[in-house]
Structure 1
Amino acid sequence: MDYSDAIQTLKNSDPILATLIEIVGDCKLSQVQHTGDLLFSLSRSIIYQQLSGKAAAAIHNRFLLLYPHSPYPTASQILNTPDDVLRGAGISRSKILYLKDLAQKIDGLPTLEELQTMDDEEIINTLTPIKGIGRWTVQMLLMFTLHRLDVLPVDDLGIRAGIRKLYGLAELPKKKNVEDLGQMWKPYRTIACWYLWRSLELS
């Protein structure tokens, strides 16, 4: 995917972010876009909740290895997996509850194709009634599965830490401050977030 227009827009509107973009280089967001169905995407986001990317990736990989004969775990496979097996993969008790609740309800949810026809807030309102799926979890789906370019997850600790580092703040910005700052990045807030996450990997 070509992000050149988005990057030029961000550079013009935010000189501080522009310096980070120069350091990091080309946006590789499309390389981390997720495949799979809605169950796969949401279960991945549930596992990633409140964990560092590295720890979450390791647990998610162990989760997928429980189902070696399927490209993606099915709802029935998740429901039939004993809790202690999921715990052995590193998944917390609360997340096991969320995953199984999701697996029970997935048939009543829209498909990814159906979600593509809905706007962001409509998707958030459709999915957040499910146990363990909050606004952040749906925003990860919007960014990494549905390829929405103007998403700003103000609850994301990595985004807040990236802003604190990049803009030289004394402490983590509050959600309102993130929202206000993000006005500069419209309509490409997803791209700005990708660069903020990358900033945390720089020494």
Structure 2
Amino acid sequence: DPLRSCGFSAGKIATIQGIAQAALDGVVPDYATALAMDDEALIERLITLRGVGRWTVEMLLIYSLERPDILPADDFGVREGYRRLKGLEVQPTRKQMVEIGVAWRPYRTVASWYLWRMTGK
């Protein structure tokens, strides 16, 4: 009831409770452990949780763990920013964005920030 009164839907509440339980069960690592984990290992572990997808974990990697080499290739803003930067008719696909981003290693996070800026967001 307290979470519903804050405006959370039943689905969001289930997700929050699931993440909390997963933290208690050791599925969600503590901060120090997460810092030491490989990007893909952390993504694979956390996307097993209800309501947590790759994009969500990528945002965690970028903004909470400050990883310098994350390219959220599914992100609309990243793909739209690239489309605008290059004057393309259509956005690149996820696969194309991943291929394009190889050249930006090891600073794909920085590239993402600039691409987001291209959309004015």
Q: TM-score, structure 1 length as denominator?
A: 0.54
Q: Distance in 1 between matches of 2:31 and 2:13?
A: 23
Deviation at residue 115 of structure 1 after TM alignment: 1.0
Match of 1:168 in 2: 87
Q: Does residue 194 of structure 1 match 2:106?
A: no
Match of 1:105 in 2: 22
Rg comparison, structure with higher value: 1
Contact kept? 1:86, 1:96, Cα under 8 Å: no
Q: Does residue 81 of structure 1 match 2:2?
A: yes
Q: Which runs of 4+ in 1 moved over 6 A?
A: none
Letter in 1 for 2:18: D
Q: Does residue 123 of structure 1 match 2:42?
A: yes
Contact kept? 2:39, 2:61, Cα under 8 Å: yes
Letter in 2 for 1:174: T
Q: Which has the higher contact order (CA 8 A, sep 6+)?
A: 1
Give the CA RMSD over aligned residues.
1.7
- May I ask how many residue pairs the two structures share in their alignment? 119
Match of 2:12 in 1: 95
Q: TM-score, structure 2 length as denominator?
A: 0.88
Deviation at residue 155 of structure 1 after TM alignment: 0.9
Deviation at residue 99 of structure 1 after TM alignment: 1.8
Query: 1:28-73: CA deviations, max 9, x gaps?
Result: xxxxxxxxxxxxxxxxxxxxxxxxxxxxxxxxxxxxxxxxxxxxxx
Structure 2 alignment gaps of length 5 or more? none
